[in-house]
Amino acid sequence: MPEGVDQFYHLRNTTVSLVVDCRGSQPAIAYFGTKLANVSESMIEHLDRHEAPASLPGEPAITLSPTHGMGYLGCPGLAVRRGRQQWQISPQLVACETSELELRFISLCERLSIEITHCLRLDGETGVLALTTTLKNADPTTPLSVDQCLITVPIQDHLSEACELTGRWGYELQQNRFQLPNSSLVRENRAGRTSHHRHPSLRLLSENTTLGSGDALDIQIAWSGNHTIRVEQLADGRRVMQAGELLEVGELELGPGGYYTSPECLLCFSDNGSNGLSQWWHRFIRKACGGHFGSAYGNPDTIQVDTVNSQTVHCDTIHDGASDGAISVSSQETRPVQLNTWEACYFDVNEATVLELIDEAADLGIERFVLDDGWFRGRNNDRTSLGDWQVDEGKFPSGLSPVAAYCHERGLEFGLWVEPEMVSADSDLYRAHPDWVLGFSNGPLIEARNQLVLDLSREEVTEYLFESISALMDEISISYVKWDMNRDIHQMENAGGHRAVHRQTTALYALMARVRDRFPHVAIESCASGGGRVDMGVLRYASRFWPSDTNDALDRIAVQRGFLSILPPELMGSHVGPSPCHLTGRQHTMNLRAGVALWGHMGVEADIRALNKADRLTLEAAISLHKQHRHLLHSGRYVEHEQSAQQVAWSVVSDDQGEALSAVAMLHTPTTAFPKRMRFRGLDGSKQYQVQVVWPQDLSEKQADFRERLKSQCFGGDWLQQAGLALPIMQPESMLIFHLAVVKHS
Ligand code: GLA
């Protein structure tokens, strides 16, 4: 044990404990879970087991970065090499720097000249623990290849089930719960962006964990490139979880003195089931949004140039709370209801149409107008013009400034869609710089959605993009940018012949940071063909996500539940789409479409000029209901209720439990005459509540009677949660929204 390093460390906040065992050569997490009163060395020693047959005399520790040389036979947390040699890393812990909520372990592998820093930072109030690993190549002459750098965490035996967020374009963030295998679960994303299919998160649960009770552990990787999450059962029965950036062989090489910090892995523990986890995440993110995100996150903007092969190497250094890592300011403000032109007119935008839409939007109470794709030179379809970020003069002869000015005149903000990372083969930019794209020297370029990916690791490319975006923002009064990215990166080779996803991702972050810092008043939305870039990494630059291109209200309920399991409602773009839905062809009433959309950062994405009178009135009422309650929706505690295949329900409850908005949705044709009772969640059992039906406005006769009867009755919070509220008959694909307020006795 080196001098100055203790046998173990115990960090805790009001809710969780972290115990790190330092008896071996490397730090290992001994425990992360419900807060413990005290821990002793001998208690930790009792976790050690006797020798198993045909095994090592002592079980190898599951350290933060285990390797084979240490006796560990699972997947190595760390894989490095110099050429084909020097891969047997054997680090020794040499120092530990501690503060109340942070541990920094420094280890050295003298033979290989590598320094490793493991940083573990516990949030002050929630169950969130942030972990990073920094590798430094301390050799003065030889480069070091990094093939793998995964944070490794032991998993307690009772966490035997997993729930992943998976899906596809138009149906993202679907929750899928399953039993963990006795072998390995490997979730790898090679899409070059966060992906629709494999969200960089995983939830582990015990068999008995429910929405409201039992142990639950989440991991989220704050990264928008390729990633790996593995859960492996070792031969001795122990389970480990590993997570980090997925590095292809040769992708990351550190020059002499160069270093790499892994993307932050955020663990979150709750013993209050899945709802407990969601509430921790929401609180953690809100705190980060409202204060110094950088104090919870590494500084992503420090880019170090590796002198060996001119790769830029991502190197998060520990941040002192300055503004670099701060989330966009607008996340703290009231979020304006917006109109987006995409499903209203697709590429067919022009000044006359847009001015009409602005008028209609203003009349409906909409507060921001977002001009989606189709506004720039020659962009009449998705086969052309990406990269030519100048306003199309045919469509907007006087440019977009008068459009923005008209928005302001009608009381709306103005926002614009861009897709900076892409170029169309049919564009002036590509004709001038065909060498600016990522490709594959051994075959033809693959186009997806008729577009190619710009190589952001070239300085001239990001310079061009920054200048183009700045020129637009300098000229036009813009308060919001929808930053899109509409294809996977299949061919990841850059001009130097290197694999590019790592550098592409860090260069994207650097570009977004530049834009954010130059235009701090502009909110950025992260979109990638819908929900292809919803992650904690891009959240340093963006303050809204577009979770899915589907506006189908039923599918949206499922997408939104997945989203809200890890991210708060105010970050969730949710739009009222047209009927029939353009993606699914399904028809839904305006009551359902608007009733579902009002739970996030609400918007409308339909041709509002074509609405019939009844739908227009309904939409106007929904917007007004959203505005009336958006403070609650964007600050309260989200909680899901018990559910069945047909019926789902959820609430957002104010922090003081004085108020709540609750919804119940009948997804399919009910198999029984009546819905299940609504057993509310999150209320104060000792208080009396007045319950009102606030949506929809036009109810069936029986439902209207039900609404009337509720008016004269107060309910105990305990009654509402235990006995529940009997519901009136509901049609399939319909919903009811309740407002609950504590009755104040004078
Ligand atoms: C992506 C987005 C859509 C829309 C289109 C425009 O598909 O997800 O919302 O912006 O691009 O081309």
User: pLDDT digit string (tens) for 177-228?
Assistant: 999 999 999 999 999 999 999 999 999 999 999 999 999 999 999 999 999 9
CA of 691 to the centre of ligand 1 (A): 40
Amino acid at 608: I
**Please, which residues bridge with residue 339 across strands?**
369, 604
Q: Dihedral sign, CA of 130, 319, 248, 499?
A: positive
592 has pLDDT over 90: yes
pLDDT at 319: 28
For residue 237, give both structure tokens: 């029965």
Residue nearest atom 6 in ligand 1 by C-alpha distance: 373
313 has pLDDT over 70: no
Residue nearest atom 4 in ligand 1 by C-alpha distance: 342
> Could you give the CA distance from residue 23 to residue 1 in angstroms, rounded to a whole number?
7
Residue nearest atom 11 in ligand 1 by C-alpha distance: 529
Q: How many CB atoms lie within 10 A of CB 618?
A: 23
Q: Is 607 one of the catalytic residues? A: no
Continuous H helices in 53-137: none
Residue 420 pLDDT class (50, 70, 90 cuts): very high
- What's the rounded mean pLDDT across residues 644-664? 97
pLDDT at 441: 85
Whether the Cβ atoms of residue 307 and residue 256 lie closer than 8 Å to each other: yes
In whole numbers, what is the pLDDT of the chain averaged over residues?
93
In ligand 1, the atom with minimum distance to the C-alpha of 382 is 12
Task: Say which residues have a Cβ less than 8 Å from residue 710's Cβ, sequence separation at least 6.
Answer: 691, 692, 693
502 has pLDDT over 60: yes
**What is the best residue among 169, 484, 525, 533 to mutate for testing ligand 1's pocket, by most ligand atoms within 8 Å of CB?**
484
Task: Say which residues have a Cβ less than 8 Å from residue 603's Cβ, sequence separation at least 6.
Answer: 337, 338, 339, 340, 370, 573, 574, 575, 576, 597
Residue 463 pLDDT class (50, 70, 90 cuts): very high
pLDDT at 746: 55
Instruction: For 380-414, write each residue's pLDDT tens digit.
Output: 999 999 999 999 999 999 999 999 999 999 999 99
Cα 231-562-655 angle, rounded to 5 deg: 110
Instruction: For 123-178, write each residue's pLDDT tens digit.
Output: 999 999 999 999 999 999 999 999 999 999 999 999 999 999 999 999 999 999 99
Residue nearest atom 1 in ligand 1 by C-alpha distance: 529
CA of 348 to the centre of ligand 1 (A): 14
Residue with tokens 């649960």: 205
Task: Say which residues have a Cβ less than 8 Å from residue 163's Cβ, sequence separation at least 6.
Answer: 175, 176, 177, 178, 202, 203, 204, 205, 274
User: Is residue 417 lining ligand 1, measured as CB closer than 6 Å?
Assistant: yes
> Could you give the CA distance from residue 11 to residue 563 in angstroms, rounded to a whole number?
30
Spatial CA neighbour of 342 closest among 370, 367, 384, 320:
370
| 425-429, 494-498, 560-564, 708-712: range with lowest mean pLDDT | 494-498
Q: Per the residue annotation, which of 215, 484, 488, 555 is the catalytic one?
A: 484
User: Is residue 343 lining ligand 1, measured as CB closer than 6 Å?
Assistant: no
CA of 675 to the centre of ligand 1 (A): 37
CA of 651 to the centre of ligand 1 (A): 30
User: Is residue 549 lining ligand 1, measured as CB closer than 6 Å?
Assistant: yes
Residue 290 pLDDT class (50, 70, 90 cuts): low
Three-class secondary structure of residue 384 per DSSP: strand
CA of 530 to the centre of ligand 1 (A): 7
**What is the best residue among 549, 556, 575, 605 to mutate for testing ligand 1's pocket, by most ligand atoms within 8 Å of CB?**
549
In ligand 1, the atom with minimum distance to the C-alpha of 482 is 10
327 has pLDDT over 70: no
> Could you give the CA distance from residue 544 to residue 540 in angstroms, rounded to a whole number?
11
- What's the rounded mean pLDDT across residues 628-633? 98
**What is the best residue among 486, 524, 544 to mutate for testing ligand 1's pocket, by most ligand atoms within 8 Å of CB?**
486
For residue 192, give both structure tokens: 């070059």
Three-class secondary structure of residue 431 per DSSP: helix
| N-terminal to C-terminal alpha carbon distance within the chain | 65
The values of phi and psi at residue 737, to 5°, are: -120, 135
Whether the Cβ atoms of residue 260 and residue 303 lie closer than 8 Å to each other: no
- How far does CA 453 lie from the centroid of its chain? 23
CA of 346 to the centre of ligand 1 (A): 9
Residue nearest atom 7 in ligand 1 by C-alpha distance: 529
Residue nearest atom 12 in ligand 1 by C-alpha distance: 373
> Could you give the CA distance from residue 10 to residue 437 in angstroms, rounded to a whole number?
49
Spatial CA neighbour of 340 closest among 525, 556, 615:
525
Residue 69 pLDDT class (50, 70, 90 cuts): confident
CA of 548 to the centre of ligand 1 (A): 10
Q: Is 549 one of the catalytic residues? A: yes
pTM summary value: 0.95
> Could you give the CA distance from residue 632 to residue 635 in angstroms, rounded to a whole number?
5
Q: Per the residue annotation, which of 21, 372, 549, 615 is the catalytic one?
A: 549
Task: Say which residues have a Cβ less than 8 Å from residue 54's Cβ, sequence separation at least 6.
Answer: none
User: Is residue 527 lining ligand 1, measured as CB closer than 6 Å?
Assistant: yes
User: Is residue 484 lining ligand 1, measured as CB closer than 6 Å?
Assistant: yes
> Could you give the CA distance from residue 565 to residue 602 in angstroms, rounded to a whole number?
18
User: Is residue 577 lining ligand 1, measured as CB closer than 6 Å?
Assistant: no
User: Is residue 473 lining ligand 1, measured as CB closer than 6 Å?
Assistant: no
Between helix 590-597 and helix 613-633 the angle, nearest 10°, is: 20
CA of 372 to the centre of ligand 1 (A): 8
pLDDT at 307: 31
In ligand 1, the atom with minimum distance to the C-alpha of 527 is 8
> Could you give the CA distance from residue 282 to residue 11 in angstroms, rounded to a whole number?
22
Q: How many CB atoms lie within 10 A of CB 281?
A: 26
